[in-house]
Amino acid sequence: MAQTVLIMTCGQTDVQFAERDVKREFEKGQVGALHDRMQAQPDSWVLVDSPDLRGLSIREFPEAPWTICTPKLDAILAYLGEAVDSLLILETQRNIPTDPRFAGAVLEKRARSKGIASVRRCAYLGPSDRNLEDRDSPLDAIIRRDVVRRLEEAIRDALHDSRSVVVATTGGMPEVKVLVKELVRLHAPPGVDLDEVEVDDGARDSGQPDKAVSRKRVDPLEPIRLRKQSLSLIEKGNLIGAWGAVQHLDAQSHPWVLVVSWLRCFASSLPFETPLPVGALSALGHRRMAVRAALRVELALRAGDIPRAVHGTVAFFEAALWDMLGERIERSTDPKRRRYFRIKSGDVPSGDKLLRRGDGSEADRSRPFELKDNVDGVDWYWVYDGDGGPAARIAQYFLKSDHLRELDGTLRSARELRNDIAHNEPTPELMNGARTRMEEAHLWSTAGTFLGQPLVRLLLADLGETAPESLLNNLLGEVRRRLLLGEARCTV
């Protein structure tokens, strides 16, 4: 198994002429001709260590023998301590005056002289190619698809057995450099140590040697790209996917990651690791369970997750029921009596519709309250809130909420769908039918929204939320603002 794999792109300055203590680049218009002479006369040149100083560019070779150097490869091997097991060279071999078409062969020879036994080369642009792009084809206007395929196949094959990967996009075209980095990130096996290096020209610093420098922790492009990617996922309702894209970033260096973390905690019903800020984001921790449930339905519909949206729609009723019950009853603080409740305001449950008689009859099972104990003159009840009778009776006779009762009736078919999803495989046919039934019941709109539906708005208004249809847009607007500013607790 390969230990360390080096992937390197090469360009016009990877191979240079060495003259005593000076290295000299090939003049760009003569690069192809000089490479052709080296290829045609392999016995006329030798490889030497790269000098530190830089001289004027060279238009033609002097009399043989020529001394040739590879300053970028030498700097990378010095950075790695020459501990490279496998090298992939990505090169061009075009028949144009500016192409360094023999650079790959020179780098291979240098690498083998340094003890790298496994060297592969991929010419992503060959002798019959001219341009990287095809302006006449929209799909090929930046990089031709066949070029992308060549690069991807070469990188995938080079990485399949790697444990450590170093990518050095030190030469070649800018578009290719970006593509190679992304392909390496894509195909690097899980858990592989990945480093990205660039080579600083030492000649700019008083004749120092070229030096390879790691860029894996300071590349400003990746966090910017990930801000855009995570924002796109969030706006499509995929909160956990957005967190998966950015969770490797340090939140202290990139504070906006905290916003994505809050959204992930909300989507997973996990406690927030840090307090939510005041404002639209506080809706994630809204005191009303029904508001949180409704937001989850809206996000599920955006994501096209019909099973989750069905579950959430039924959960919305249950959350609203307990939001209203919480104003009338109080749970026992005794850990052994957590299902016991006392009446803290309003009339106690009584009569034929609410209070169980304990006779085990079918009618009795529809009554939602059962008197369990009396402690110091306080009655404690067990509350049954199951689908159908008990919940409906709580809504109609105890809470006396017309909107909650109407939602309970509307949800009868939805509860069947929820049970089908919970206990069966949610097939595409079942989910298509679920969407239709939800829309026909006016629980979801035909545009795939929930918060703006009339019954949902009325019920949330009963709970004190006056503009529920704006909740998600306000939330996403604040998320976008904070991600674009790159902050979590911004005050701008």
Given a contact cutoff of 8 angstroms between Cβ atoms, the answer to whether 8 and 87 are in contact is yes
pLDDT tens by residue, 421-447:
777 788 888 888 889 989 999 999 999
* Angle, CA 368 vertex, CA 362 and CA 370 arms, to 5°: 95
Span 188-193, average pLDDT: 87
| CB proximity list for 10: less than 8 A, separation 6 or greater | 72, 89, 90, 91, 100, 103, 104, 107, 170, 171, 172
How confident is residue 330, by pLDDT bands cut at 50, 70 and 90?
very high
Given a contact cutoff of 8 angstroms between Cβ atoms, the answer to whether 288 and 318 are in contact is no
* Angle, CA 304 vertex, CA 302 and CA 306 arms, to 5°: 115
pLDDT attached to residue 161: 83
| CB proximity list for 58: less than 8 A, separation 6 or greater | 17, 24, 25, 26, 27, 30, 34
Query: Which of 358, 328, 356, 357 has the alpha carbon at shortest distance from 342?
Result: 328
Longest dimension (CA), the chain: 113
pLDDT attached to residue 249: 86
Domain map of the chain by residue range?
4-219, 329-398
- CATH 3.40.50, domain 4-219, yes or no: yes
**Regarding predicted confidence, which is higher, 141 or 219?**
141
Residue with tokens 């420098």: 213
Span 291-305, average pLDDT: 96
| Interatomic CA distance for residues 345 and 330, integer angstroms | 9
Orientation angle between helical segments 471-485 and 289-303, nearest 10 degrees: 70
Give helix then strand counts, H and E, for the chain.
18, 15
pLDDT(215) > 80: no
pLDDT tens by residue, 240-268:
999 999 998 888 889 999 999 999 999 99
Query: Which of 92, 83, 103, 87 has the alpha carbon at shortest distance from 16?
Result: 103
pLDDT(77) > 50: yes
Measuring CA to CA, how many Å separate 254 from each of 220, 282, 484? 11, 21, 12
pLDDT attached to residue 206: 53
Measuring CA to CA, how many Å separate 26 from each of 29, 37, 77? 8, 12, 22
Is the bond preceding residue 42 a cis peptide, omega within 30 degrees? no
How confident is residue 66, by pLDDT bands cut at 50, 70 and 90?
very high
pLDDT tens by residue, 387-423:
668 999 999 999 999 999 999 989 887 787 787 777 7
How confident is residue 283, by pLDDT bands cut at 50, 70 and 90?
very high
pLDDT tens by residue, 79-100:
998 689 999 999 999 999 999 9
**Regarding predicted confidence, which is higher, 219 or 386?**
386
Given a contact cutoff of 8 angstroms between Cβ atoms, the answer to whether 294 and 465 are in contact is no
pLDDT attached to residue 491: 42
Given a contact cutoff of 8 angstroms between Cβ atoms, the answer to whether 492 and 480 are in contact is no
The SS3 of residue 65 is: coil
Given a contact cutoff of 8 angstroms between Cβ atoms, the answer to whether 7 and 86 are in contact is no
- Give the residues across from 167 on adjacent strands: 7, 196
pLDDT tens by residue, 360-376:
888 899 999 999 999 98
pLDDT attached to residue 492: 35
- Residue 285, both tokens: 């921790």
pLDDT(202) > 60: no
> In which order are the strands placed within the sheet that holds 86-92?
118-125, 86-92, 4-9, 164-169, 193-200, 211-214
DSSP track, 168-181: EE-SS-HHHHHHHH
- Residue 437, both tokens: 């039934």
pLDDT tens by residue, 84-142:
999 999 999 999 999 999 999 999 999 999 999 999 999 999 999 999 999 999 999 99
| Interatomic CA distance for residues 492 and 489, integer angstroms | 9
How confident is residue 20, by pLDDT bands cut at 50, 70 and 90?
confident
| Interatomic CA distance for residues 239 and 265, integer angstroms | 9
Task: Tell me the average pLDDT of the chain.
Answer: 91
